[in-house]
Chain A
Amino acid sequence: MAIIVEAIKHLFKRPATLRYPFEKEAPPKGFRGRPIWDMHRCVGCGLCSRMCPSGAIEMIGRGHEARIKHYVDRCLFCGQCSESCPRNAIRLMNDFEHASYSRDSMIYEYKRES
């Protein structure tokens, strides 16, 4: 019986869920979202790509000329790349909406601009 009283009380309360995607809740500080590369810091050592557990990072070339391709569709958002980077070039962002109809749009490329 106790639950009936509780259930009736809740008829007059706000719903517990949000009307996503019309209403959104911002993720908390420290959320592990999509990693992004700051190529001015990157020295192209390739450690991030070697450490990534899911093979989501592709390095093309080495050193300052290196290009980095990040495949979000493979990424686990574990943050190991950002932890391993000796130059602190990788930061995890706050965004979490990566769904897309095409895999091509889930590839992010980073290149050092001189």
Chain B
Amino acid sequence: MSYGSTIKVPFGPQHPALKEPEHFLFKIDGDIIVNVKPRIGYNHRGIEKAFERRTYIQNIYLAERICGICSDAHTTCYVQAIEDLLGVEAPPRARYIRVIVAELERIHSHSLWLGIAAHEIGFDTLFMHLWRDREAVMDILELISGNRVHYAMNTIGGVRRDIVSETIPKVIGSLDFLEKRTKYYMKVLRSEPTVLKRTVDIGVLKPEDAVELCAVGPTLRASGVKNDVRRDDPYAAYDEIPFNIVTDDGCDVFSRILVRCGEILESINMIRYALDHMPSGMLRVRVPMVVKPGEAVSRVEAPRGELIHYVKSNGSTRPERYKVRSPTLANIPALCKMLIGQHVADIPIILAGIDPCFACMDRLVFVDVKTNKKKALDFESFRKIVRKRHELL
């Protein structure tokens, strides 16, 4: 199999989570995709091995760096697994703070995704407006945690920082702004012909396929399946905070947009509730450095779906084995299903539709089934096909 040249996606010079390479081999008949073969692993960083060489405290910061966008989801999942092994529980206030940071992160991740989706369908005005407004949530995350991206809020046995009363009015103000903007964007998305033409009935994933292929997160919920770790296996303070699981029956990319918009609004309400009902008290319990032998599994609903961490301890200060199953991996089989029967020009938005931590068009090879010829396309010629099909040129 010969692969073509690497395709570079010119997307923002320094951003924390963009440009993850991933390979897809498409078999096409004319303009229609008949088969997809994913090949993953281009981004292997040896993180699981690195876990075994660091102490439990040091690993919090390593877990945080698995992903720049869901950094809080990974640390929450990690500290929960270790707390499980140690048999300790975070104090109530810490559990509320974990929910607040997790939901802020969901807002920022979903707005980031909406921007990317807008960009993929060639709607850059919307992309820029969305990303400008996303700064509001980044600013409150920085205000609360001291960093825009790596919040470092979680620690084994609780959280490291409090949400002090002076910051709460600022947080509420930003939430009001974000709510107004999200409602406005929902109106835009529902009425803009550019969006509707490019996303309605594109990348359809039927509910039975979604369940069978083990899709997770908004991808699954956009196929009408009510499934959410926050409700099914509540962690942190999710059992005390009322919220709705947003689903949509469209099963296409447009539904995925609507589900994520709906989740932003839900998250805003959850944060408001959590800020109002946050109990006072301790932030953390002291834990020993040495963890007794055992195994633990922890699950978290990351912005992209269910995240699973597994840890095995041998009674020392370092884990013996660590395993991470991120939501993007779970969505790859479903993604391949969605792509079959679609036009080549719709590949970017369908790939982006699962929010793959931005793993897409790095290397694309097309095989024409009639001639069995392979051709690799660079980004510009790919763009041209996309534009031509949608008559934008």
Q: Which residues of A contact B (CB under 8 A)?
A: 1-3, 6-7, 16, 27-28, 30-32, 51-54, 76-80, 83, 92
A6–B60 alpha-carbon span in the complex (Å): 43
Report the minimal beta-carbon distance from A74 to chain B, rounded to whole angstroms. Answer: 12
A52–B62 alpha-carbon span in the complex (Å): 11
A53–B58 alpha-carbon span in the complex (Å): 4
Task: Count A-B pairs with CB separation below 8 Å.
Answer: 59
Say whether A30 contacts B187, CB under 8 Å: no
Say whether B191 contacts A32, CB under 8 Å: no
A54–B50 alpha-carbon span in the complex (Å): 11
A2–B191 alpha-carbon span in the complex (Å): 8
Report the minimal beta-carbon distance from A24 to chain B, rounded to whole angstroms. Answer: 15
Say whether A79 contacts B146, CB under 8 Å: yes
B180 within 8 Å of A by Cβ? no
- As a 0/1 sequence over residues 186 to 226 of chain B, the CB contacts with chain A under 8 angstroms (1 = contact) are 01100110000000000000000000000000000000000
Q: Which A residues touch B55, using CB under 8 A? A: 51
Q: Which residues of B contact A (CB under 8 A)?
A: 54-55, 57-62, 65, 125-126, 129, 132, 135, 139, 142-143, 145-147, 150, 152, 160-161, 184, 187-188, 191-192
Cross-chain pairs A/B with CB under 8 angstroms, 9 sampled: A2-B188, A2-B192, A3-B192, A7-B125, A30-B161, A31-B142, A51-B57, A53-B61, A79-B152
Report the minimal beta-carbon distance from A53 to chain B, rounded to whole angstroms. Answer: 4
Chain B CB within 10 Å — which of A7, A53, A79 has the most? A53
Closest residue on chain B to residue A92 by CB atoms: B146
Q: Which B residues touch A79, using CB under 8 A? A: 146, 152, 160
Closest residue on chain B to residue A10 by CB atoms: B129
Say whether B61 contacts A30, CB under 8 Å: no
Q: Which A residues touch B142, using CB under 8 A? A: 27-28, 31
